[in-house]
Structure 1
Amino acid sequence: MKVSSAAVPVLSILPEASLGLGSTQLCCAALQATSLRNQVLYPTSTAYNESVSSYFAVNVQLDPTCIVQPHSTEDVSLIVSTLTQTGETQCPFAVRSGGHTTWPGAADIGQGVTIDLSMMNSTTYHKDKGVASIQPGSRWQAVYKALDPYGVTVPGGRGGPVGVGGFLIGGGNTFYTARVGFACDNVENFEVVLASGSIVNANRTSHPDLYKALKGGSINFGVVTKYDLKTLPHDGLWGGLVVYDNSTTDRQLSAAVNFTNNIHNDPYASWIGMWEYSSTTGQNIIADALEYTKPVAFAPAFHEFTSIPNITDTMRFATIYNLTQELVQAAGYRDIFTTGTYRNDIKVLRKAIDLHNNNIEKAKSHVKSDYWAMDVIIQPWPKLFAQHSVEKGGNVLGLERFDENLIQILFDYAWDDARDDDLFIGLGQSILEEVDEYAKSIGAHNEYIYLNYADKSQNPLKGYGEENVGFITRVAKKYDPDGVFQVQVPGGFKISQV
């Protein structure tokens, strides 16, 4: 266990002129008094504004008192030590990796300090260990590009610009989940800065309780500064997007249910179904993302989808980097995600699509935005996923307790006018409530909620099950006895609030 040598109560050495500052300004002044002074950004600087504007969704962009950009694990240790050892002054802070979460305050803070990890963005391949060491500020597209020359890849995000950090500690569904489990299941080691500033490595033999808790437990324990992720051979994939007319919905949903129930027969196949409306085109279409994780075209696993007449497609042999560029969501808009998990039942899927079509018409009657879009995204969550997790030592998602194939639905609404916030947030939350209510009425509802897609109004950690909630709570108290990551870091989903 290491601690930054500069970790001292910095407020005690601040000049007297600083003592008239507000409490959060004092926190920034404390950071300014360390060796990281040139990495502390204020609202008057270009770098500050570039950081704020780089969040995926405009509605999550807050104005922290200052932003600090560490370049190393030691920098993070010094920052955390400074912010947690400032006498009686409370220094609220946030931790940001890619900033892709769509609710305000998840990875940013209005009054306080945001630790922006974007400068910690390297990927190093260790051929002898078959491991890639990845820093948390990297984006998956950069990771894939760095590993491609070595003929390897890792199970990571399917949208290139998504950040590494939050994705991995939230579980991480990937093109490879049916083959190797969730992304978090493939982490060999987490390097973590604890609330005390101590630096620890969590793996199967060192701090194994923390190691397991970080596999889905999110930001309840510390700041992860490096992930050692097991690599996979990579000689290309076959995949792309296939666009269909909305009239094919019934055939699509039938294919989705069958694919989910049979994915164990060919775990190389990955499918994402997207029902999409955009005000730009005025069209309500279906787009399937089909990816096969080895270079084989038109695998039989996809036959039920590929036999449906389509409008156009981009199917091809490509690298994972190339394919994840195709699944990039447009940034720079206001956005909301809500998500639910259900028994793999076509009736639930039909209900979701019917309500989605109704919501489009409701929005048309009230919308003020020039641009707006409404998507329903359906993805398989079969038993096979959790079986891999158990084989690799387990995580805290709790999916192994369900003895049936599941399917996940994500509602994703985007718009460009703040006057429509209540409209789209209301529609996004109400459609989930209606689908949940219907699913419960037919015994098809499941309590699991994928944390990386969850809205602030949801409680994904509770859905991990009572046993895992208790485990995460104990681990959080052990490694963060003062509750820094429960109170002083208000962003993210807190185990203390389950």
Structure 2
Amino acid sequence: MGSAPEVYAGLNDRLKGSAAEILFPTDGDKYTQAIARWSEHNIKRAACVVKVRSADDVTSTLSFIRENKIPFVVRGGGHSTSGSASIEDGLVIDLSLMRGVTVDKEKQTVRAEGGALWVNVDEEAAKYELATVGGTVNHTGVGGLTLGGGYGFLTGKHGLTIDNLLSVEIVLASGEQVTASSTSNPDLFWAVRGAGQNFGVATAFTFQAYPQTNPVYAGPLIFLPDKIPEVIAFVNKFHTANDGNQALMWGFSCPPPMNAPVLLTQCFHNGTEEEGSAFFADLIALGPVANLISMIPYAKLNSLLNSSAGFDGRKMFGGGAFKLPLDVGFVQSLFEEFLGFVQGKNEAGKERGMGQSLLLFETIPYNEVVKVGNDSMAFSNRGDYYNLATMFKWFDPSFDDEVRGFARTLLKKASQSAGVDQDEKTRSIEGVGVYGNYANADVPANEIYGGNAKKLGELKHKYDPENLFDRGTRLVPRPMVVVN
């Protein structure tokens, strides 16, 4: 294989007649925008970006990749912080021009192309008074969230996004275009629901949708940290008080302009204002410093957290788990440890200035989630617990390693204290306690997939024997690729 210009010289011919866009570092702003990511931590200078417009474009590009042994990644929404959608010097298959969404009102299904964002799905489905289980931030990609699981405000009633996935159209490593569903390639369908990025390029998803005619009661209540005991008391009651139509996201941050620590809560009730205000009455009575709850269309719900997930800065997700009831002292200690890190100084004496970071307790009802067994599909994070997440945000690259180390330590401590730090024996039965979409790519497969890791490895050999798709959680050892 020759130099980069020589290697890619034949790509235009391979995509001749296609409307795909091929971008190189010499293409100025278009290239710069193409390698931009939600986290600056994951911006890498790819040698080439191919903005595909169809499954045929993907097949042609994969053929070129295989023949020339080019390292590559697939980019959907560009929201991952694991680095799996970015590459230095390799090729990016960019799905961002494939954002079409179609709705079948009669069948109550939604089909979204592989590069669609959740805002595209929410808004198109709303035109037909429908909704499906999506993420809680609407500028995330449909593909990444779905292939990794998918928790959302409707999970309490309808389970995970992958529980509502009817089929996936996917281009395999061979270039073959197939559909995976319960009746077509069912073993592949089992695998992609949780480990999809390891098996091909998903070019379209079809979801089950549900009637959503009414607006919802939703929005943030913001408290000072002195309200931690009272908020925890409400959270502990939430576990048994909810009927699946409610969700409560809550946690700690130091947002601008004051950069002072606050306790943030995001309330949700799928029903009337009277019902919602009654359910959250004890929280409201605590006297939040800001009450921004209102009745809004469902299509706007997943935009409420967008401001806390802006596109500037370096970011890293981390995931753990917690059980209810929570001990106030335990939460207070996590808060103080988190606060000490984001507002403190590193060993070199530099102020971290990480106040926009977030420690988040995702109290989303899981009764519907655990009705599906952990062996029913690759996803293996089903159990009697809730997700705990961190989203660290910083601007100085010299902090990268210490952020990663602190996040792991904090989340492990939280999960152990909550009794959900699973050992090897219980992971496949009780759930792994780690949401794969929050994990870094270097986490061992058994920690994400539990007892499903062995079967995934076998299916990997069947559908991708040369391990072409090697950028997610490693199901098999990564091959050594030599680029001349």
Partner of 1:260: 239
**Post-superposition shift, 1:364?**
8.3
Post-superposition Cα deviations, 1:252-298, rounded to whole Å, max 9, x if no partner, equal 223223313444xx101011002111364121001111111234444
1:453 to 438, 449, 467: 438
Partner of 2:42: 60
Q: How many residues are matched?
A: 459
Post-superposition Cα deviations, 1:184-218, rounded to whole Å, max 9, x if no partner, equal 11011100100011011111111111112111113
Which runs of structure 2 are paired with 1:276-315 in the superposition (5 Å)?
276-278=253-255, 280-299=257-276, 300-315=278-293
**1:474 and 2:453 matched:** no
- Is contact 1:246–1:284 with CA below 8 Å preserved after alignment? yes
Q: Distance in 1 between matches of 2:141 and 2:56?
A: 21
Post-superposition Cα deviations, 1:111-144, rounded to whole Å, max 9, x if no partner, equal 2100110000010011232111101211111221
Q: Distance in 1 between matches of 2:170 and 2:150?
A: 18
Post-superposition Cα deviations, 1:325-360, rounded to whole Å, max 9, x if no partner, equal 221111121112221123335145444223213324
CA RMSD of aligned residues (A): 2.5
Change (3 A) 1:83 1:179: same
Partner of 2:191: 213
Which runs of structure 2 are paired with 1:80-229 in the superposition (5 Å)?
80-84=62-66, 86=67, 89-103=68-82, 105-229=83-207
Q: Distance in 1 between matches of 2:433 and 2:377?
A: 14
Partner of 2:426: none
TM-score by length of 2: 0.88
Partner of 2:427: none
1:325 to 293, 303, 310: 303
**Post-superposition shift, 1:307?**
3.4
Change (3 A) 1:459 1:271: farther
Identical columns (%): 22
Question: SS at 1:175's partner residue?
Answer: coil
Q: Distance in 2 between matches of 1:343 and 1:202?
A: 35
2:322 to 309, 318, 342: 342
Change (3 A) 1:80 1:260: farther
Change (3 A) 1:410 1:460: farther
Q: Distance in 1 between matches of 2:189 and 2:164?
A: 12
**Post-superposition shift, 1:237?**
1.3
Partner of 1:272: 249
Question: SS at 2:31's partner residue?
Answer: helix
- Is contact 1:449–1:460 with CA below 8 Å preserved after alignment? no
**Post-superposition shift, 1:372?**
4.4
Q: Unmatched 5+ residue regions in structure 1?
A: 1-18
Q: Distance in 1 between matches of 2:445 and 2:261?
A: 30
**Post-superposition shift, 1:304?**
4.0
Question: SS at 1:449's partner residue?
Answer: coil
- Is contact 1:339–1:408 with CA below 8 Å preserved after alignment? yes
Change (3 A) 1:251 1:426: same
**1:43 and 2:19 matched:** no
Q: Distance in 2 between matches of 1:256 and 1:30?
A: 59
**Post-superposition shift, 1:395?**
2.7
AA in 2 matched with 1:59? H
AA in 2 matched with 1:188? L
Q: Distance in 1 between matches of 2:355 and 2:311?
A: 12
- Is contact 1:125–1:147 with CA below 8 Å preserved after alignment? yes
Partner of 2:12: 32
Question: SS at 1:119's partner residue?
Answer: coil
Change (3 A) 1:241 1:495: same
Q: Distance in 1 between matches of 2:333 and 2:94?
A: 41
Deviates more, 1:178-187 or 1:27-36: 27-36
Change (3 A) 1:339 1:367: farther
